[in-house]
């Protein structure tokens, strides 16, 4: 299956909470950083890996059709190779919307995001990479991390622009809160400010008439949307009823999704469910408007997909057969990585691991749905911890440190064959950092996905270091650093 491929050039830095304006210039790019990550500069080769070969073959055949010494056609001098428009370098910025200087304590996908796209276009960039847009977990002290979401397909409603809701007539200007100027996002404070107003706007939308209400109904009836939205809405409704650490502690009929229990929830929490759905519609409407604007400016939006999902999520609760759980629904094995340069005992992430054998039996339908959803939101996306598809580190759930784990065989090419067959070509970037063995490299190359290099990882060893610029591959995305590195800053001469 053909996907795009990339070549590498060093990246530019970015910073938390940028003070953006239309007068921004390249000297200020160091003030645009999200979670101490960086800009991407890449080359997209041809999306159809055969097209260049076909062109070369046609040219050769046209010359071979003549006898040696024979006159060539009068237009022979015009047979100059044309540069494939897909075979080009691209520059971009990694910046999560939460890092915009939103007026209410958090960046959103309103005016600041549109101004940022204008700036990207003016600066000659053509890629905007975001972190996951999923709603962050709020129960287990995740502190708003987009990698600890409660649903792999929902959008973070705290990113909804209140000002845009005013433009839609769903809020009144005088209902907006006082501006909150802060350098960091306090999710508890932001939720107290924005959640009631977004819920109010959703209720007004539900009780309204007109085109926007019709769009909401179409959104809800869409079978692709419903395939994940219904489970997410029920999960949120039940979670709102019980003050438990995770769904494992819910009453047994709800924990195991008994039909009668779910019907009771729908009757008792119908308004909550309707509001939840309407909020997801409002998020998607604003995001797609932003994405369309970015595309008109020649900006491609790159999403980010964690390989694993949290245990306390609609994904696990509604798809237990897809995960390695015991009969009571508790994880048997959890995710992590073995000891490395960053940790003597490895990293214990704690996410439930997939039951790849069970998933393969139904042609990886959960992953197919997830990839379709990603295509609906992004032009391309990075998959975190790509090496886990080849071999993954499995730690017993009762273990306290990751060293208790063992390597296990992942799904490999069978997963991507199923995805390509169901979804078609997908533009993915493989996060291939960490312990990368030959099988991981071969899997990445077999699907044509670009890997990653990090400039700050390139120094401190010998010239063979793959992160040094002279060792960069054509099919690669290069970052200045990661969340484990200090932010790179540019100094004025």
Tell me how crowded residue 417 is: count the other CB atoms within 10 A of its CB.
16
Give this prediction's pTM.
Answer: 0.84
Q: What is the dihedral of CA 7, 118, 108, 231, to 10 degrees?
A: -50
To the query of whether residue 75 is one of the catalytic residues in this protein, the response is no
To the query of whether residue 142 is one of the catalytic residues in this protein, the response is no
Instruction: Provide the b/e sequence for 128-137 (b: ≥16 CB within 10 Å).
Output: bbbbbbbbbb
pLDDT of residue 486: 83
Tens-place pLDDT, residues 368-400: 999 999 999 999 999 999 999 999 999 999 999
* Tokens 């054998």 sit on residue: 357
CA atoms in the 13 A half-sphere facing the CB of 49: 13
How far is CA 301 from each of CA 81, 165, 305, 381, rounded to the nearest angstrom? 30, 23, 13, 8
pLDDT of residue 474: 84
Tens-place pLDDT, residues 192-236: 999 999 999 999 999 999 999 999 999 999 999 999 999 999 999
Instruction: Pick out the chain residues at pLDDT < 50.
Output: 1-61
To the query of whether residue 188 is one of the catalytic residues in this protein, the response is no
Active-site entry in 108, 355, 431, 432: 431
Q: What is the dihedral of CA 355, 356, 359, 363, to 10 degrees?
A: 180
Q: Where are the domains of the chain?
A: 313-447, 450-492
Rounded to whole angstroms, how far apart are CA atoms 247 and 240?
11
Active-site entry in 84, 274, 376, 384: 384
Rounded to whole angstroms, how far apart are CA atoms 214 and 68?
70
Residue 424: partners with Cβ closer than 8 Å, 6 or more residues away: none
Q: What is the dihedral of CA 131, 144, 100, 308, to 10 degrees?
A: 0
- 3-state class (DSSP) for residue 289: helix
């Amino acid at each position: 299956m053909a996907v795009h491929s990339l070549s590498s050039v060093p990246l530019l830095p970015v910073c938390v909470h940028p003070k953006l304006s239309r007068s921004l210039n390249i000297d200020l790019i160091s003030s645009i950083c999200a979670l101490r990550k960086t800009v991407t500069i890449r080359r997209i080769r041809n999306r159809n890996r055969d097209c260049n070969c076909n062109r070369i073959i046609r040219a050769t055949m046209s010359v071979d059709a003549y006898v040696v010494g024979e006159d060539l056609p009068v237009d022979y001098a015009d047979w100059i190779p044309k540069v494939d428009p897909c075979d080009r370098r691209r520059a971009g910025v990694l910046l999560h919307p939460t890092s915009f200087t939103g007026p209410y304590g958090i960046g959103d996908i309103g005016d600041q995001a549109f101004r940022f796209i204008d700036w990207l276009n003016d600066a000659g960039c053509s890629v905007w990479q975001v972190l996951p847009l999923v709603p962050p977990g709020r129960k287990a002290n995740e502190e708003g991390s987009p990698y600890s979401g409660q649903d792999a397909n929902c959008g973070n409603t705290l990113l909804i622009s209140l000002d845009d809701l005013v433009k839609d007539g769903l809020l009144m200007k005088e209902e907006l809160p006082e501006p909150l100027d802060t350098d960091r996002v306090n999710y508890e404070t932001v939720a107290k400010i924005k959640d009631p107003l977004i819920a109010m706007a959703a209720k007004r939308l539900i009780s309204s008439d007109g085109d926007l209400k019709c769009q909401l109904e179409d959104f809800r009836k869409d079978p692709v949307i419903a395939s994940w939205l219904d489970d997410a809405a029920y999960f949120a409704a039940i979670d709102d009823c019980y003050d438990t650490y995770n769904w494992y502690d819910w009453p047994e009929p709800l924990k195991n999704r008994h039909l009668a229990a779910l019907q009771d929830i729908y009757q008792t929490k119908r308004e909550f469910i309707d509001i939840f759905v309407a909020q997801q519609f409002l998020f998607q409407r604003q995001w797609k408007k932003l994405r369309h604007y970015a595309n008109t400016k020649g900006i491609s939006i790159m999403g980010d997909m964690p390989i694993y999902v949290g245990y306390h999520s609609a994904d696990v609760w509604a798809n237990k057969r897809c995960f390695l759980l015991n009969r009571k629904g508790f994880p048997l094995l959890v995710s992590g990585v073995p000891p490395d340069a960053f940790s003597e005992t490895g990293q214990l992430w704690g996410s439930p691991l997939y039951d790849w054998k069970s998933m393969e039996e139904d042609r990886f339908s959960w992953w197919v749905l997830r990839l379709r959803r990603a295509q609906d939101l992004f032009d391309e996306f990075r998959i975190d911890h790509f090496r886990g598809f080849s071999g993954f580190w499995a730690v017993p759930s009762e273990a306290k440190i990751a060293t208790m784990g063992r390597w296990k065989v992942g799904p490999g090419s069978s997963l991507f064959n199923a995805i390509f067959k169901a979804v078609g070509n997908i533009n993915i970037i493989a996060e291939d950092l960490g312990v990368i063995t030959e099988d991981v490299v071969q899997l990445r190359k077999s699907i044509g996905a670009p890997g990653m290099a990090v400039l700050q990882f390139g120094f401190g060893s010998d010239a063979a270091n793959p992160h040094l610029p002279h060792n960069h591959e054509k099919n690669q995305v290069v970052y200045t650093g990661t969340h484990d590195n200090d932010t790179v800053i540019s100094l004025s001469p």
